[in-house]
């Protein structure tokens, strides 16, 4: 299971990986209107940046921006700094956590110091030494993340990115359903906002 998970992690975070994907999105915050629309993403593994565009504002994050690996504090709008609580999902997930949900695997290795908890659906293991955990199915695919701020994100594994991402937490719910996935050629520009 560990070897399969590590293989999936290496593929997802490979620096040479570039792709684009389109998700149908529904975001239901605890307070405020339900957002329906489409979320387009472009991942560039060479610099760990995900550009995104939404057909309608999702989760209070506006209509487009960037997520950069290793950056804390939320979604970066085009040309601006991250907002304190803006997110593509309801809740207070870090940028790295959101990227993990969209890529299907957290960049951090599984913690070797924590025990595995066997469940009917697979094994729950802590990610690094934080309070983040992942539920890994019998094939070694991540199917659920749990985060310290009370959010859980269920994944339906797919080829390249998850086919379905369902995030639930104290601030609401978001569901992303994959519509299309393909490689992203270096010459293709991300559409402007």
pLDDT 10s digits, 143-189: 999 998 889 999 999 999 999 999 998 888 999 999 999 999 878 88
Categorize the per-residue pLDDT at 137 as very low, low, confident or very high, splitting at 50, 70 and 90: very high
pLDDT 10s digits, 13-31: 999 999 999 999 998 888 7
Concatenated DSSP letters for 39-58? EEEEEETTTTEEEEEESS--
Q: Give the C-alpha distances (Å, rounded to integers) separating 70 from 39, 49, 94.
A: 22, 10, 9
* 102: three-class secondary structure by DSSP: helix
* 30: three-class secondary structure by DSSP: coil
Strand pairing category for 76-77 and 49-54: unpaired
Per-residue model confidence (pLDDT) at position 78: 42
Per-residue model confidence (pLDDT) at position 80: 40
Handedness of CA 14, 16, 22, 25 (dihedral sign): positive
Main-chain phi, psi angles of 96, to 5 degrees: -65, -35
Which long-range contacts does 123-126 make (Cβ < 8 Å, 24+ apart)? 123/1
Give yes or no for residue 79 having a pLDDT over 60: no
pLDDT 10s digits, 36-64: 899 999 999 999 999 999 987 776 667 88
Main-chain phi, psi angles of 5, to 5 degrees: -65, -45
Per-residue model confidence (pLDDT) at position 61: 64
pLDDT 10s digits, 80-106: 434 433 567 777 888 899 999 999 999
**pTM attached to this predicted model:** 0.87
Per-residue model confidence (pLDDT) at position 94: 87
* Higher pLDDT pick, 68 / 77: 68
Give the residues across from 49 on adjacent strands.
44, 68
């Amino acid at each position: 299971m560990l070897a399969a998970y590590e293989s999936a992690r290496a593929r997802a975070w490979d620096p040479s990986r570039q792709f684009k994907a389109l998700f149908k999105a529904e975001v239901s915050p605890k307070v405020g209107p339900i957002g329906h629309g489409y979320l387009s993403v472009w991942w560039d593994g060479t610099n760990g940046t995900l550009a995104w565009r939404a057909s309608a504002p999702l989760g209070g994050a506006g209509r487009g921006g960037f997520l950069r690996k290793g950056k804390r504090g939320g979604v970066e709008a085009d040309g601006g700094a991250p907002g304190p609580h803006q997110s593509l999902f309801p809740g207070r997930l870090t940028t790295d956590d959101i990227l993990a949900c969209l890529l299907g695997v957290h960049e951090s290795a599984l913690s070797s110091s924590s025990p595995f908890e066997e469940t009917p659906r697979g094994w729950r293991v802590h990610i690094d030494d934080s309070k983040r955990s992942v539920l890994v199915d019998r094939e070694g695919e991540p199917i659920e993340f749990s985060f310290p701020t009370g959010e859980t994100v269920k994944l339906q594994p797919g080829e390249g990115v998850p086919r379905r991402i369902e995030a639930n937490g104290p601030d609401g719910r978001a569901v992303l359903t994959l519509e299309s996935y393909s490689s992203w050629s270096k010459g293709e520009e991300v559409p402007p906002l």
